[in-house]
Amino acid sequence: MGRHRGRYAEEPSNRARRRRGRGGAFVALAAALVIVLGLTAAGVYMFGESDGCGGSDIALDVAVSPELAPAVDQVASDFNAGENRVDGRCVRAEVRQVDSANVAYQITGSGATMGDTESDVWIPDSSMWPRLVQSQAGDAVITETGTSVARSPLVLAELAEFADGEAALAWADVIPTSAPGEASERSVRVVDPARSSTGLSTLSLLQSALERSSPDADTFNAHMTAALQALHQGASSDEDAAFLALSGGQADSPPAMVMSEQAVWRYNAAHEEASARANYLEGGTYYLDYPYVVRSEDSDITRAAEVFREAVRSDEALPHLLAQGFRGPDDQMDPAVLTEDVGFTEDAPEELPVPSDGAVTDLTRSWNQLKMDSRVLAIVDVSGSMLAEVPGTGMTRMQVTGAAATEGLQMFTPTSELGLWEFSTDVNNNLHYQELAPVRELQATGDGGTEHRDAIAGALAGLRPRPQGDTALYETYLAAYQEMSRTYRPDRTNVILMLTDGDNDNPGGMELDELMTQIDGMASPSRPIPIITIAFGPDVQNLEPLQEIAAATGGAAYMTEDPTEIGDIFLQAFSLRLTEDDPGAE
């Protein structure tokens, strides 16, 4: 049997002992390092598992329309806790509230922006914004995924205490589309369409409705102009201002507001004392569809964006959306949130196709053109023929013209500038025209404290025909063009508006050729001054000279035998601002 060395057995030599001890130390150290490294690796793994993802996370910056951000933030919180990975790296979604127009205008450079608008994922309130970006900034990185995160149809909101529950209203019924001065049952407000997809959609709804109901282009343009003018009067700069206006409505003129269902829900949550009711109008409506858009071409980011897209479309995400007053991607809704008592219906209204990018651009341009204040010199004929009576009215041409022009004043904003001349022959020493009111802002006050708008109205009411006066049209056109050229304002639309009941009648006076030569020498494409003439009555025998003047200045000439139609012609005249091309003469 083998021998066992006891406690006192012979020891090996010191050299051998030292060699053996050094080798054992190396083995022990190596073993210890293996254990430590193993524990460290396990510790890092365990720590990473218990504390989410470490420094190698893929950060996904998600810019979301403010009203949707709370719901998406809840989805992101659940998503981040679930530690979703791309190639072993955790994706961490970071949600920020960013105004949709702010992002679109930053990309295109076509409007004012503020704050940080860059992001990896963009969820605006409407597909109109990315389509607008693609049409105006073709090199922008914009990838539409075809995913709608949430939906909310547009409705007409009215204070519940004033809503009468009437049915069968269409969009064209809620905005005045007739001549100015006619009474309207509703004061309708929108958020500025230049920065709001809800406001812009409202314009598109009206445009579609008017296109269906208007017999010709002139009628459509006139009605669209009236609608835009009416909307301008009550436009709110942002949603907060719109909510304030809605809650402060007066009993004699209850306001109505075009909003999404979700906006009505948010309004009611904050205004229990003045709740609003949702009305669904006939003819279909647009939806805010909250598209999921990717703004990066980086491989890791695009794959991370795809993982998060699946999360926001998951069944787990749906309750977060419905709890915030949205409909789901398939129009699901929570009747306990969108309640029937304030008008919400479980059945989703008919959806209209999203307007094309070209239509969006045109509507935005039309709105901005009308938004720009006017600068108008109005000139009224006071020749002897204005004493003639208008059949069936018991009023003279002068009286009818003055009344129509006074109604036309209501089309102008308080910051618009307006001046008034009268003309005939020899009305001011040797001049054929005379200033009755200078071109000033309508909200300005004169020396006596009278607002300029009232001064203009008073001057119109005080117009008196000159029984022996003739019609020195051409000299007056030239003097007006010279004055408006001298005082031209590039930040406004500068217009000459002539109201007359006769052809040029001034023996020995200026001829048409001389007038055209003079205007041609002053005219500049960069400083347009259109001349718009409204001629009325049976004494107008030849409209051609007025058309020639209109064509040379980018204006228009209108003729009617009935002066009572002047109000409608005002609308047609101002609808020139809705057309991009030179309208020529009518």
CATH of the domain at 145: 3.40.190.10
d(CA 284, CA 490) in angstroms, rounded, equals: 41
Rg (CA), the chain: 36
What are 197-255's pLDDT values in tens digits? 999 998 888 888 888 888 888 788 778 877 887 787 778 878 888 888 888 754 455 57
Would you give the end-to-end CA distance of the chain in angstroms?
Answer: 130
Q: Are strands 187-189 and 255-260 parallel, antiparallel or unpaired?
A: parallel
d(CA 136, CA 115) in angstroms, rounded, equals: 21
Residue 234 covered by a domain:
yes
- List the domain range (segments joined by +) for residue 391: 372-578
**E strands, 7-57, where?**
none
Tell me, what amino acid is at 21?
Answer: G
Q: What is the pLDDT of residue 215?
A: 86
Which residue carries 């002992």 as its tokens?
A: 17
Residue 195, token pair as written in the block: 């920065």
Residue 391 covered by a domain:
yes
Residue 230, token pair as written in the block: 């009416």
Indicate whether 122 and 247 sit together in one domain.
Answer: no
H or E stretch including 189?
strand 187-189
d(CA 497, CA 412) in angstroms, rounded, equals: 14
Indicate whether 145 and 156 sit together in one domain.
Answer: no
Indicate whether 130 and 260 sit together in one domain.
Answer: no
d(CA 228, CA 175) in angstroms, rounded, equals: 9
The Cα-based distances of 249 to 154, 262, 414, 582 in angstroms read 21, 21, 21, 41
**E strands, 366-416, where?**
374-381, 389-390, 395-396
Residue 497 covered by a domain:
yes
Residue 102, token pair as written in the block: 């702010």
Tell me, what amino acid is at 549?
Answer: I
Residue 532, token pair as written in the block: 């718009």
Residue 299 covered by a domain:
yes
Q: What is the pLDDT of residue 18?
A: 36
Rounded to two decimals, the pTM is 0.68
Which residue carries 């699901």 as its tokens?
A: 332
d(CA 321, CA 311) in angstroms, rounded, equals: 12
Residues of the chain with confidence (pLDDT) below 50:
1-51, 179-183, 250-251, 580-586
Domains contained in the chain, number:
3
Q: What is the pLDDT of residue 393?
A: 85
Indicate whether 435 and 523 sit together in one domain.
Answer: yes
Q: What is the pLDDT of residue 361?
A: 82
Contact indicator for 223, 568 with CB cutoff of 8 Å: no
Indicate whether 121 and 158 sit together in one domain.
Answer: no
Indicate whether 223 and 86 sit together in one domain.
Answer: no
Name the 3-class secondary structure at 188: strand
Q: What is the pLDDT of residue 376?
A: 92
Contact indicator for 461, 407 with CB cutoff of 8 Å: no
Indicate whether 225 and 280 sit together in one domain.
Answer: yes
d(CA 500, CA 566) in angstroms, rounded, equals: 11
The Cα-based distances of 259 to 83, 170, 189, 265 in angstroms read 37, 15, 10, 10
Indicate whether 514 and 442 sit together in one domain.
Answer: yes
Cα–Cα nearest to 283, from 131, 153, 150: 153
Residue 113 covered by a domain:
yes
Contacts of 412 (CB under 8 A, 6+ apart): 374, 376, 418, 442, 453
